[in-house]
Amino acid sequence: MPQDLKQYDQAFLGHPKPLKGLFFTELWERFSYYGIRPLLILYMAAMVANGGLGLDRPSASAIVGLFAGSMYLMTVFGGWLADQWLGQEKSVWYGSMIIALGHLSIALTAVFDQFFFYFGLVLIVIGSGLFKTCISVIVGTLYQAQDSRRDAGFSLFYMGINLGSLAAPLITGLLIKDFGWHIGFGIGGFGMLLSLVIFRLITVPQLTTFNHLQGNDATWNKPVYRNKNAPKAALCFLGITAVMIALVSLGIIQINPFALVKYLTAFICIGIVAYFAYLLLFAQLNSLEKKKIGVCFILLLAAALFWSAFEQKPTAFNLFAQDFTDRNIFGYEVPAVWFQSINPILIVIFAPMTAWLWVKLAKSNRDPSYISKFCIALLLAAAGFILMMLASMQVLHSGSNVSPLWLIGTLLLLTLGELCLSPIGLSTMTKLAPTILRGQVMGLWFTASALGNLMASLVGGQVSADEIQHLPELFLRCVIALMIGAIILWLLRKPIHKLLNQAETADSTQTQAKNPIPAQADTL
């Protein structure tokens, strides 16, 4: 390896220098998203006299789930457009601009009517569909398939995500208290503009230099192959979206958010199965690529189950913090949305530790397999919901609010589970996805988050003072589902591990044919 490339390859905490630009691009994009997300259910459920929309909690929770779920679902289409037409760079760039316009639209609700609020959510969904898939794919291109730094690199990237999500609720929580809801919404647009500037002026030049030093053709700024029908598909989608917005805003179509969540959840489940079947049967993949796609499908189902528990933070946990948690600290009432910053604080603390741990274990060939990490994540989430069940039982029996330590303990367990699943899942998808399908497979990975958000919203709306007697049973169901998922995944670990070993052996053989470097495999 040339000396200049070696220095550039290890310039950011032992990782390729472009990871730094991607780190800060994602940080400010996540600041924009997490700046508004915890406000949504509180704003929509607040009385009109208090500046809110006055919606009932199940409807407000369902809309939050639809917003987040649709955003992740859009990553499938966004990934397809990147692969077939735009390329990764343009997708991130255009997605950033659309997200910024969405934040501006939401801020305009203070002056105009509710239409701009919902229209802003739609714009953020569309923009995020382009942005999220592609920036993760670009991170994956920084590493060779057998590079032992890959998981650690995604963990560092994940820490950038959580730095943004840490600061956002703290700032918006203060702003809405002193200046109202819409200033809190507007600050997210500022974060998105910073993300735009960083990507164009810092990230893109770093990626260009890195590829030049490697002597490789850049793969992040052009599509895998150009599909002449892709622009037509994008235009058709935008046209249908515009017609639907018009029909709903004119009152011609009435939408029940809670029912729509149920239908959309069923539709996504059927769609995921059908799309994976299409990839296996008609995408002209070889036998090795089909095995990789099969592993991706199993991991996606496990991730969806985990996210259905984890994504109750902006709904069920947010409402629990507001209604049943003692938030008075030294005479100051902590804003309920501040609890949303606990998870990213813990990520910032523990992400470097886990990144170091994975690298250390990999060097000694003792790194747990992806399946083991996923099982640990599900078990940790189950333990977190046991704490929530006990906390709700205490509220029910004592009739008073409980210590914030219950929520903090739950969020700690969920965070540790997240670190075992999310960055590892991102790394695995970029590693297993066939090159020609990498954007689409990454988009499918994000459908797990879509399902999780939708299912979590069905639980979140049931957290209220009127329904406290049902909370212990509600959280117990979550525990049972997570435990069953962990057991099934553990029973499947051997055949899955065999498939992974076959994939890694084939990749290693191809890599060594070009540049013989010893490869390390995961172990159970």
Residue 237's pLDDT is 92
- Give the confidence band of 415 by pLDDT, cuts at 50, 70, 90: very high
Long-range contacts of 206-213 (CB under 8 A, 24+ apart): 206/17, 206/18, 206/20, 206/21, 207/18, 207/21, 207/89, 207/138, 209/8, 209/17, 210/8, 210/9, 210/16, 210/17, 210/18, 210/142, 213/2, 213/4, 213/5, 213/8
Give 468 or 247, the one with higher predicted confidence: 247
Is the pLDDT confidence value at 61 over 90?
A: no
Answer whether residue 165 is part of any domain.
yes
pLDDT tens column, 69-99: 888 888 878 888 888 888 888 888 899 999 9
Answer whether residue 513 is part of any domain.
no
Task: Provide the b/e sequence for 451-472 (b: ≥16 CB within 10 Å).
Answer: bbbbbbbbbbbbbbeeebeebb
Partner residues linked to 211 by β-bridges: none
Q: Which residues contact 366 (CB under 8 A, 6 or more apart)?
A: 523
CA pair distance 423, 426, nearest whole angstrom: 5
Residue 519's pLDDT is 39
pLDDT tens column, 188-215: 788 888 888 998 898 888 888 887 777 6
Enumerate the H helices of 141-229 as residue ranges: 150-179, 181-198, 204-214
Query: Lowest-confidence range among 146-160, 215-229, 317-331, 488-502?
Result: 215-229
Is the pLDDT confidence value at 7 over 80?
A: no
CA pair distance 414, 410, nearest whole angstrom: 6
In three-state form (DSSP H/G/I as H, E/B as E, the rest C), the secondary structure along 468-489 is HHHHHHHHHHHHHHHHHHHHHH
Within 13 A of 88's CA, how many CA atoms are on the CB side? 27
Is the pLDDT confidence value at 518 over 60?
A: no
Q: Read off the pLDDT of each residue in 9-18 and give the average, rounded to a whole number.
A: 83
Tally of helices (H runs) and strands (E runs) in the chain: 18, 2
| Domain housing 472 | 9-508
Query: Is residue 72 within 8 Å of 450, Cβ to Cβ?
Result: yes
Which of 302, 44, 386 shows the shortest CA–CA distance to 181?
A: 44
Answer whether residue 472 is part of any domain.
yes
CA pair distance 146, 106, nearest whole angstrom: 44
Q: How many domains does the chain have?
A: 1
Average pLDDT, the chain: 82
Query: Lowest-confidence range among 16-25, 235-244, 299-308, 430-439?
Result: 430-439
CA pair distance 43, 449, nearest whole angstrom: 23
Query: Lowest-confidence range among 348-362, 451-465, 498-512?
Result: 498-512
Answer whether residue 524 is part of any domain.
no
Answer whether residue 48 is part of any domain.
yes
Is the pLDDT confidence value at 33 over 70?
A: yes
Residue 129's pLDDT is 87
Q: Read off the pLDDT of each residue in 130-154 and give the average, rounded to a whole number.
A: 80
Residue 522's pLDDT is 36
> H-helix or E-strand containing 333?
strand 332-333
Answer whether residue 517 is part of any domain.
no
CA pair distance 84, 100, nearest whole angstrom: 24
Q: Read off the pLDDT of each residue in 119-129 and give the average, rounded to a whole number.
A: 92
pLDDT tens column, 444-497: 787 888 888 888 887 766 666 566 777 888 889 999 999 999 999 998 888 777
Which of 32, 56, 31, 34 shows the shortest CA–CA distance to 45?
A: 56
Give 295 or 384, the one with higher predicted confidence: 384
Query: Lowest-confidence range among 45-49, 272-276, 473-477, 484-488?
Result: 45-49
CA pair distance 160, 166, nearest whole angstrom: 10
Residue 126's pLDDT is 93
Is the pLDDT confidence value at 25 over 70?
A: yes
Is the pLDDT confidence value at 177 over 80?
A: no
Is the pLDDT confidence value at 510 over 70?
A: no
Between helix 438-460 and helix 405-432 the angle, nearest 10°, is: 160
Which of 216, 152, 218 shows the shortest CA–CA distance to 5?
A: 216
Q: What percent of the chain has pLDDT over 70?
A: 89
Is the pLDDT confidence value at 124 over 90?
A: yes
Answer whether residue 521 is part of any domain.
no
Q: Read off the pLDDT of each residue in 283-290 and give the average, rounded to a whole number.
A: 80
Amino acid type, 50: N
Is the pLDDT confidence value at 353 over 90?
A: no
Query: Lowest-confidence range among 101-115, 303-317, 390-404, 438-452?
Result: 438-452
Answer whether residue 32 is part of any domain.
yes
**CATH (domain of 320):** 1.20.1250.20
Q: What percent of the chain has pLDDT over 90?
A: 16
